[in-house]
Amino acid sequence: MGIERMHPPKYWRMRAEEFRTKADNCEHHQAKESLREVAKTYDELARRAGQIRTVQDAAEQRPPQLG
């Protein structure tokens, strides 16, 4: 895990949508496929950022452990 910590899931989903739109408007098949792969990568970053947020939220809600 790394870069997905830098932004919330919404940011990565917006980037994915941006690249899907670029792919839809692209006429060159190979470029279109490359842009779709980039969108998939951003979707994966959004998913991982969401997991990180979920874990962080759960950790914040747990009572402190007594040691």
How long is the chain?
67
> If you ran DSSP here, which 8-state letter would residue 25 be given?
T
Each domain of the chain, given as residue ranges in start order, spans 3-50
Non-local CB neighbours of 10 within 8 Å, separated by 6+ positions? 46
* Residues 41, 4 contacting (CB under 8 angstroms): no
Question: Residues 24-60: pLDDT tens digits?
Answer: 999 999 999 999 999 999 999 999 999 887 766 666 6
pTM of the model: 0.75
Integer Cα distance of 34 and 61 in angstroms: 41
